[in-house]
Amino acid sequence: MFQVHTQALRPLTTAHLAQTMTLLSLTVDELRQEIDSELASNPALELVEERRCPTCHRLLADRGVCPVCSCPTSLESDEPVVFVSQRDDFFYSKSDPDSQGDEEDFSTTAEDLPTYVMRQVATELDSEDRHLAAFLLTHLDDDGLLTTTVLEVARYHHVMPSRVEHVLDVIKRAEPIGVGSRTTQEALLAQLDVIAETSPVPELARVIIEEDMERLKKLQYSELARRFDTSQRKIQEVIHFISENLNPYPARSHWGSVREPTQSGVNVYQHPDILINYINGDPEKPFVVEIIMPVGGMLRVSPMFRKALREAGEEKREAWKSDLERASLLVKCLQQRNNTMQRLMQQIVTIQKDAISHGERQLKSVTRVEISKILEVHESTISRAVAGKTVQLPNKRIVPLSMFFDRSLNIRTVLCDLISKEKKPLSDAELAKLLEKEGYKVARRTVAKYRAMEGILPAHLRHSTVKV
């Protein structure tokens, strides 16, 4: 009996998870299209033309947000208030209600992983090697690992394998570190090399990754301790370091998915998916975070359709039942999407409150993997929730949600400030020393990479742009 019950539940659970993940990856505009499409095709789904809070379902006034869900639990609390809002009037900021505003105010840039990496490595490669980099970057899987071999690339382009290896080495040092690796082991070793340039690493970390990945994957502490003639405690410390600092799937934790369906364009204009402001516009008060729902009414399964289904003949009942299940699933999955986005934004705004208030210099280093552990969800859930979404900050600037996971943005911001104030062009080595004084210990080659990402010329080419 138990087995039959489990089998009956499995398809529904799978469908629920798949639908939730699909909705989670959509932006507010894409979600509106999805809902409109389902409303047009499914008679069991209806949109009630009344304003209700998507969370507590309280009936709302003609304008404004839910007076309960949008209020802090305590006036003394500094926790952000995060709620789902049905507001669709914030798009129009001018006095004319029919005005769409200036679309340039809502601009954002969506960039896929190959383009992002290519922008970093282009200046480090000779011009004749850039086409090799472009070819390699178009052969990445969803985890950022290479799907072809060096020999195949060398044969295709009629070059020596050593030349392809050189290009691949440059790619692997770009963000996300380890991208372009052929195996998870290679990705871990590439990340370890970069960390070792500026920070100490446990002495056994490299040898364990190189010689015993199988036991490492299975967390076989005692077997590893025996093999490397050390204590289990030391092995646990090494594995803890590896799990906290390295990721075998570079693209998955740093970027999301290489082929994320929401990353469809290079330059797009859209409304923000999330609004962050201060309560009553007062910077001394906590943040209030609105997650936008694109529909202005309440989405539900039609009571009239339920009644019709009970009275329907045998020939119609099966098809109508399918419509009913589909409508019910969409409503439940939308609620799950909203709940996940609320929990995610609660964490992001709490962690990055200084960056939201004072700019990118205050950005804290946090990864999708770390957030997934806090929320106790799979890291792919966080990647889908972040991908393609945009946030309007209190200063009205719109940024990608992924910005809060950009581990080098704060350093790049400081780097840009240093270069903007230089009286003579500073070399990358000099900039590395200045960054260290600011609290950021990075290697010279890392400075060169960050400078290239910001589109800043090398010192010997900056003479004409520096004011003496």
Domains, the chain, ordered by start: 2-90+269-404 (no CATH), 113-254 (1.10.10.1330), 409-462 (1.10.10.60)
Q: Look at the pTM and tell me if it is higher than 0.75.
A: no
- As a whole number of angstroms, the distance between CA 126 and CA 385 comes to 38
Q: What amino acid is encoded at 250 in this protein?
A: P
Q: What are phi and psi of 95, to 5 degrees?
A: -65, -30
- Extract the tokens encoding 11: 């398809």
- Which mean pLDDT values do the consecutive 10-residue runs of the chain (468 residues) have? 38 66 86 87 84 74 71 72 72 40 41 80 84 90 87 90 92 88 90 83 87 83 87 87 83 49 39 86 86 83 82 73 86 90 93 90 87 89 88 87 86 88 87 88 85 80 54
The pLDDT of residue 276 = 92
User: What's residue 108's pLDDT?
Assistant: 43
For the purposes of burial, counting CB atoms within 10 Å of the CB of 315, is it exposed (0-12), middle (13-18) or buried (19 or more)?
Answer: exposed
- CB-based contacts of 187: which residues, under 8 Å, 6+ apart? 144, 145, 172, 178, 179, 181, 246, 247, 248, 249, 250
| Tokens matching residue 272 | 């923000």
- The backbone region for 9, taken as left when phi is positive above 0, alpha when psi lies in -120 to 50, beta otherwise, is alpha
**3-state DSSP helix/strand/coil percent for the chain, to nearest 5?**
55, 10, 35
CB neighbours of 85 closer than 8 A, spacing ≥ 6?
A: 54, 65, 66, 70, 275, 290, 291, 292, 293
Task: Identify the pLDDT of residue 387.
Answer: 86
Amino acid type, 444? R
| Per-residue model confidence (pLDDT) at position 13 | 55
What is the Cα–Cα distance from 205 to 456, expressed in whole angstroms?
36
Cross-strand pairs, 278: 287
The span from the CA of 361 to the CA of 354, in Å, is 9
pLDDT of residue 165: 92
Contacts of 454 (CB under 8 A, 6+ apart): 412, 415, 416
pLDDT at 111: 59
SS3 115: helix
Pairing state between β 298-301 and 81-85: unpaired
